[in-house]
Structure 1
Amino acid sequence: MLHAQAPRKDMSRQGKMIMIISADRENFQQIDSVTQVLSLAGKAIVQQDKTIFEADSIALNQLTNILEAFGNVHINDADSIHTYSQYLKYIGKEKKAYLNKKVKLTDGKGVLTTEELVYDEQTKIGIYYNGGKVVNGKTVLTSTEGYYYGETKDVYFKKNVFLRDSGFTVKTDTLLYNTNTGITTIVAPSTIVSGKQTIKAKDGYYDTKNKKAYFNQRPIIDDSAYTFTAEKIAIDDKTGLSEYDGNAVYRSKDSLAYDLIAGNIKANKKTNALLATQKPILLIKQPKDTIYISADTLFSSKLSELMKTKLIPVVRDSLIAVTTTKNSKDSNADRYFEAYYNVKIFSDSLQAVCDSLFYSGEDSVFRLFKNPIAWAQENQITGDTIYMFLQNKKPERLYVFENAMSIQKLTDKYYNQIKGNTINGYFINGKVDNLRAKGNAETVYYGLDEQNKYLAVNKATCDVIDMYFEQKAEGTKPQKIVLRNNLEGTAYPMRQVNHEEIRLRKFKWLDAQRPKSKFDIFSN
């Protein structure tokens, strides 16, 4: 094989000399004082430092240290980065390559393809300006502009960026991707679509290998069943677990129509479970009388899963029975809520506090446990346990068992009272219509004359007490009381009795604990 016979000059000031390794044919031409071309053809190979250039033919100017390569060009950059094209112009003193036509760059992890690429051998940076694509396993990224960093294996995509991976896509204007780790970094407003779910994010990352994501700057998740937002969101697609931190808001789109607000919410996509802490608030929405619930902790999941391992307590003589959701036409009702510690409930028609709560979307029953107190207009109701039944998200019925007591404030001094083993209360249009105390029933009741002046105070015991209320625009007023079976009682003149002493045992007016507005819930 014949090598070039032209004199070789020291090019140290312009970068190391491009050395000829081999070629099938060589031809030397001295065109002028600054143009000295050595043409290599047939498996032409040259080298500069640790970079090897191969092509069908190479034209090398040894004075300027510039080469042009044609056909099946291959640049081997220290066995770490390989670049291919059909045309190459290489500036030796700058170690910069200009590649055209069917350009491909690979680092052993990802493959970059484009029609035009500028690659710097010193910085290991490759740039394209007229469209390119990177393929890394199942991940495919395209953009108008791209910047490849060989040292870090990062690719910086700009303009019309689109990422496609198994199960999701990303559309944005700017994106950073690492071919080694498979991590996609969100640096600009981006839209991520996965099935029926869309995520709007400005900052964060997605680990395509481990299927984990983390987003900042209040991203928004829009799913077919809900929307979710928070200051920060962390998602693990493999486990189905996610965490929403900082002013987290969950809004359901189902018929139950509820919002969950908290400082922190953890979710399990596989079980549809939600755990809300840091001042959580549940809103059961309706046009005129939304129900607000606050507690130290709120938890929600699928009712059908709970009932596989646990029976929900049912009132024996209740009008509404709790059933499984297997035959339910509305699968959206297959959800329950639990609230723990310092529970508060507010709606315009009903308020309550308790230690813990259970609510089912299947039967629309609030179950209040441990020192529960409920208020409806001027009525205060207490007992060991209280069930509140809703119809169309409005109070329909209230059931109290064990140590049940109802107190109605008339004045600062006078209070109607009924007490029994159980109390059943019924509502019309969200207002109390009647109450029934049953079992060891007791009452203190203030009677009125036709001029609505107090006649006397009655204290009595019997088996059953029914109290009926008159519906007024401003609220409800006691209309009459009916005492049934085994009646014993006394009527006292108003001026001849100590009204505090005749109160029923365990009488406590607890209005100070009553949530007066939704703002009491939000400030909990």
Structure 2
Amino acid sequence: MKLSPLLALAALGIVSLPAMLAQAPKDGPSAKSPAPKSAPAPKKSVVRPTIPAADRHDPGKVFLEKADRLMFDQARDSDVQVLVGNVMFRKGDMFMYCDSARFNEATSSLDAFNNVHMEQGDTLFVYGDELYYSGADELAELRAYPGKKVRLINRDVSLTTDVFFYDLAEHVGYYETGGTLTDKQNILKSLQGYYYPDSKDAFFYLNVDLTGPRPNDTLRMFTDSLTYNTGTNIAQLMCETLIVSKDGEITSTSGFYDTNAGLADLYDRSTVHTRRGNYLTGDTLFYDRNKGYGEAFGNMILTDSAKQSELRGDYGFYDELKDSAFITGNALALEYSQADTLYLHGDTICAYMLTDSTKVTDVFHRVRFFRNDCQGLCDSISVVERDSILYMYYNPILWYGDKQIVGNVIYAHFNDSTVDWARLPESGVLGQHIGEDCYDQLAGSDMTAWFNDSTIRRLYVEGNVQVIMFPMENDSTYNKFV
């Protein structure tokens, strides 16, 4: 059948239906009258997706928001929807996107493929190539194709791994096959890790490695368990940990380390190895890396390996930049550079450097020291490394072998491992036990004694010299009347 030109145009969609209906029949009364003008074509109606009115925050429920095509997989399960093109799901405030998916509305489970990503608000984004979501436990598993990584972005935080799990019920993401977390301050790597976007807390386990990416910095942290907050950049130490930087090393099993400020609060017996080579150890330890000082509480030990000496006490403060220390509470200084160790006790010990780099150690109140060859008591003492002299003040007493030296001030000089001379510039008394209850005694205003092993090689006394001696008789007894 041959169509009229007008109908042919209508069939091709060129002439609108209202225009067609407006044409008068050819054999009608008005066939000769001019045809009326066509009415304006109505605007094409836009079909918009209808979003169901169900509560989008229904606990555990996943909603299909849109897709270009929807089919049912009759071969496998009539409840499974096959979705293709611009697919979007929603669970609460979390949106999931992909190119294609299989969705079981009854169980709120889905498998998504290609260009997969999850979004929550304008802060949390997760990207991958495949997503498997279980509605029963509200757990999403994201995978990446070979050569690519699953990525989580939360403001300034980035987490990459091969396989990533996100628990939508607990709002926590984790990995179990190795991953890397990066923020503005640090890079953290581990075999296992958990990240809570809401609190910004991260937990890392097995072969944990923290690196500080700041210019000219060498911060590294090695451990097997670590808690880290991406908002504060503070790491919590949970087991044996080594912290390395250009300023030294820290070893600890418990505590907190502020990677931004370089501050450490450490517990359970920790040690700081400073850039000078000294070791500061304590039951509780505070260390300011940038200012270069540390405080140790409880059984503190400050070791100078180069000078072979130690300072010990209940509390200690060490200024690394000035190479000075303050020790109190059962304070003890040890010097073991020679064959015999010198033990120096007191209430308080101060050690510092003079302008010419001479080391000085001052001990205050109830001072006592011990070596096999000599011992002493006084109220305060000063040890000057440059001249190897012990300056003893306030009622000092020095014992050397069987000899006792007493004075207002005593200067004792150490030569290698022995005391080779002692000077008493403000009066002194030297006593020596010679037998029975007999003691030879010598006093004067200014006294100097030179020693050879345990004997007096030479003695010089001037000013108000007084002598008490017990001569030996022929029968080896002492004459007690002089």
In the superposition, the TM-score normalised over structure 1's length comes to 0.75
User: Does 2:320 correspond to 1:249?
Assistant: no
Q: Which residue of 2 aligns with 1:76?
A: 119
Report Cα offsets for 1:380-419 as digits up to 9, x if no partner: 2122211111111421211111122212233564322212
Whether the 8 Å CA contact 2:240–2:254 is kept in 1: the answer is yes
2:93 aligned with 1:39: no
The amino acid across from 2:298 in the alignment is G
Q: 1:17 to 1:55 in 2, by over 3 A?
A: closer
SS, match of residue 213 in structure 1: strand
Q: CA deviation at 1:184?
A: 0.9
Residue 207 (structure 2) pairs with residue 164 (structure 1) = no
User: Is this contact kept in 2: 1:143–1:162, CA < 8 A?
Assistant: yes
**Whole-angstrom distance in 1 between the partners of 2:54 and 2:323:** 74
| Equivalent residue, structure 2, for 1:128 | 175
What pairs up with 1:453-492 in 2 under 5 angstroms?
A: 453-455=477-479
- 1:353 aligned to 367, 371, 377, which one? 377
1:338 and 2:362 are equivalent in the alignment: yes
The residue number in structure 2 matching 1:314 is none
Write the mapping of 1:5-404 to structure 2, written as runs, cut at 5 A: 15-20=60-65, 22=66, 25-31=68-74, 34-42=78-86, 44-92=87-135, 94-101=137-144, 102-165=149-212, 166-195=217-246, 197-223=248-274, 225-254=277-306, 256-286=307-337, 288-304=339-355, 324-325=356-357, 334-404=358-428
Alignment map for 1:410-429 (pairs within 5 Å): 410-411=434-435, 413-429=437-453
Listed one character per residue, the Cα deviations across residues 288-312 of structure 1 (whole Å, up to 9, x for unaligned) are 42111000000112223xxxxxxxx
CA distance in 2, matches of 1:269, 1:339: 20
Ranked by relative contact order (alpha carbons within 8 Å, sequence separation 6 or more), the top structure is 1
- Decide which structure has the larger Cα Rg and report it: 2
1:57-84 deviation digits (Å, cap 9, x = unpaired): 4444434322333333332224443222
Partner of 1:439 in structure 2? 463
Give the AA of the match of 2:300. Answer: A
C-alpha distance 178-142 of structure 1, shift in aligned 2 (>3 A): same
On the 8 A contact 2:172/2:194 being kept in 1, the answer is yes
Q: CA RMSD in A?
A: 2.8
Gaps of 5+ in 2: 1-45
2: CA distance, partners of 1:399 / 1:7:
102
SS at match of 1:447: coil
Number of aligned positions between the proteins: 427
Alpha-carbon distance in structure 2 between the residues aligned to 1:143 and 1:89: 24
Q: SS state of the match for residue 454, structure 1?
A: coil
1:362 deviates by 1.7
Instruction: Call closer, same or farther: CA 1:36–1:58 in 2, change over 3 Å.
Output: closer
Cα distance 1:431–1:219, how it changes in 2: closer, same or farther (>3 A)? farther
Letter in 2 for 1:27: L
Paired AA for residue 442 in structure 1: Q
Q: Deviations over 1:171-195 (max 9, x none)?
A: 1121111111111111112222223
Q: State the alpha-carbon separation in 2 of the partners of residues 52 and 121 from structure 1.
A: 11
Amino acid at match of 1:302: M
Give the equivalent residue in structure 2 for 1:519: none
Task: Show the counterpart of 1:319.
Answer: none
| Cα distance in 2 for residues equivalent to 1:237 and 1:196 | 7
- The answer as to whether partners of 1:396 and 1:430 remain within 8 angstroms in 2 is no
Report how far residue 39 of structure 1 moved: 1.6
Structure 1 CA distance for aligned equivalents of residues 460 and 263 of structure 2: 56
Instruction: Give the whole-Å Cα distance in 1 for the aligned partners of 2:445 and 2:291.
Output: 48
Q: CA deviation at 1:35?
A: 3.1
Q: What 5-or-longer segments of structure 1 have no aligned partner?
A: 305-323, 326-333, 456-493, 498-524
C-alpha deviation, 1:230, in angstroms = 2.0
Distance 1:34 1:438, change over 3 A: farther
Cα distance in 1 between the residues matched to 2:143 and 2:363: 65
Distance 2:184 2:123 in 1: 18
Distance 2:187 2:470 in 1: 80
When normalised by structure 2's length, the TM-score is 0.81
